[in-house]
Structure 1
Amino acid sequence: MAEAPSMRELLGEDPPKNWGKWGDDDEVGSLNYLDAEQVLRGVGSVRTGQVFTLQCPMGHPHGDPVFPGREGIKREMVWDQELFESGQGPSFPGGIRASDDKAEIFLQGSSQYDALGHAWYDDTLWNGRSADTTNGGGMSWASILPIAQRGVVGRGVLIDMARHRGKDWLDKGETFTHDDLQEAAAAQGVEIRSRDILCVRTGFLKYFFSVSHDEFYENFIEPGLTYSRELVEWFQSTEIPNLVTDTIANEVTAEPETGVLLPLHASLLRNLGVSLAEIIWLDDLADACAADGRWDFLYTAAPLKIHEATGAPVNPVVIR
């Protein structure tokens, strides 16, 4: 196979960009589209008051779905009844006892949001800042903190590509485009509107929990959106603030034609400032939407406020 082109060669010398659109110091990108009007539009999608939380459990007995090279949560008890009975636990006035634990986690090892500075090429991050801002023990520019402080609230729309294609889950490496998304939306009877938070279900998390780790990670390549300039231009013109998927990396892992890894992280996150939320559990929400034919809702999310972090865990809450 021929050597993969550089990201610049794939995306072109003049890719669609939103740099400077909200000022040179902006660190939240397309989330700026989610103003008060969009929040109220999301509230208007609430009909029955059903609540869904979308985080995958951390420390699940089956394991945690993580990108190759990362590990799931490592949690250990610090205080428990056995410790107190052994006389090694602390003594508190009145005799109260408590359990306590701690964890070591990859901040992107669960349902999570990417910082806008998480991925780059040509040594340049979102809004034209140098990738040197990732050095020194943390991200001094476009970390997860500005997104966490702002929060994400608006009208969400769920497109169920797996259900649309009559599958429990899409196959490894199976792709779809923005045209496919709109075709599925029309079949569902919903419209993807300007400034919608776009949620896409592939069923790939259901696949993760249904098979062994060896099967899931063998020849690892996720299904998802595949790069084209037309797709990026559609995201830009539709003013999509946030892409939310049930895959680990939001897009087909490698661009099928060239083998380039994660070009949508480069073109959407780095160039347009579109927030990416990954490993989001959408199956229960999808079942509810299919049951009554309503595919829009109030979407809310707030990743953890972690100083200078590349990303952070999140438990989005949807109300429909």
Structure 2
Amino acid sequence: MFEAPEMKQFLGDNPPMNWGKWGPDDELGSLNYLDAKEALRGVSQVRTGDVFTLQIQMGRAEAPGDPAFPGRHSIDRENVLDESSWDGDGGPYFGGGARYADDSAHIFLQGSTQYDSLGHVWYDGQLWNGYDARSTIGAMEKASVLPIAEKGVVGRGVLIDMARYRGKNWLDKGETFTHEDLEAAAAAQGLEIESHDILLIRTGWLKAWYELNDPSFFYDEFNEPGLTYSRELVEWFQSKEIPNLVTDTIGNEVFKEPDSGVSMSLHCSLMRNLGIAFTEITWLEDLADACAADGRWSFLYTAAPLKVVNGTGAPVNPIAIR
């Protein structure tokens, strides 16, 4: 039986690293690139003021429901109080007779559009910046999502539409692309990917989720389309000082490398080693159509995940303003 190599072996003895670049206590990683100057550079991209919210709906009742990584489920929401609570004598009384609705929810914090914490994925016993992986036991004590949420993410966003570039409604299962493909697609769009850009990539995968309406297609031998690992790709991300990778897939990369069978290689090489924030399950269809219509593929990108203490990730509704 074929066995994938260990991550340390796969990535090599001296992979590109940003550990220590922002000090021994850093928990923000490459988001440190997004300072006030970068926020203003993002604001400078706004022309028409059109606003696009990039979160998928949570708790959608219609088929096919909400996409989520295998083993997770979408939000389980239920009413706690509604008008029926006063059908008998059980509803609370307020002077004047006001009534209200209330609900609760059980969710996977990464069960919708969400940010990963930098400590979410690791190998060889260490998280981002060299933190001990045992600091995850019971709670994410280091490199949780909270520092990302406290900072907020604001900068110039650029959208690379790989599906449109390849003439498809959506990429095929397991279809891969590289940083060179990103550069070629950007050039075709009349766009240059600049240092510190927040990089959004459309594969059309969420469009396929809703239009095909066949979850079994997605979860059978789960293997989404996406970026595939090479050392050159990691070096490109490092040299470009990309702070944030945002895609419309559940895992932000091809789930299984086609030659080696290694999974989550970019979570390890980009997030764990370079400190690049990952944003997943992002709705890019409306934004992509608007960008294609007038040929403007850059915009102000803003996001702040929920401030979950010790969280491995948190839901988010990013906003792009053109």
SS of the equivalent of 2:286 reads: helix
2:94 matches 1:102:
no
TM-score normalised by L of structure 1? 0.99
Deviation at 1:218, TM superposition (A): 1.8
Map 1:127-166 onto structure 2 (within 5 A): 127-135=129-137, 137-166=138-167
For 2:286 and 2:97, the matched residues in 1 are separated by 43
Aligned to 1:313: 315
Query: Would you say 1:56 and 2:61 are equivalent positions?
Result: no
Once the two structures are superposed, the pairs formed by residues 1-320 of structure 1 within 5 Å of their partners are 2-61=2-61, 62=63, 63-135=65-137, 137-210=138-211, 211-320=213-322
CA shift for structure 1 position 182: 0.5
- In structure 1, C-alpha distance between the alignment counterparts of 2:320 and 2:243, rounded to whole Å: 16
Q: Give the whole-Å Cα distance in 2 for the aligned partners of 1:25 and 1:186.
A: 38
Q: Deviations over 1:103-161 (max 9, x none)?
A: 000000000000000000001000001001101x2111000000000000000000000
Letter in 2 for 1:47: R
Cα root mean square deviation, aligned: 0.7
**Structure 1 portions without partners, runs of 5+:** none
Post-superposition Cα deviations, 1:215-255, rounded to whole Å, max 9, x if no partner, equal 22222100000000000000000000000000001000011
Residues 84-113 of structure 1, C-alpha deviations (whole Å, 9 max, x = no match):
122211111110001110000000000000
Q: Secondary structure at the match of 2:273?
A: helix
What is the alpha-carbon distance in structure 1 between the residues aligned to residue 10 and residue 217 of structure 2?
31
For residues 167-192 of structure 1, give each alpha carbon's deviation from its aligned partner in whole angstroms, at most 9, with x where no partner exists: 11100000000000000000011110
Q: Counterpart of 1:155 in structure 2: which amino acid?
A: R
Amino acid at match of 1:177: T
Alpha-carbon deviation of 1:83?
A: 1.2
1:225 is aligned with what amino acid?
A: L
Q: Which residues of structure 2 form unaligned runs of 5+?
A: none
For 2:216, give the aligned amino acid: D
Amino acid at match of 2:157: G
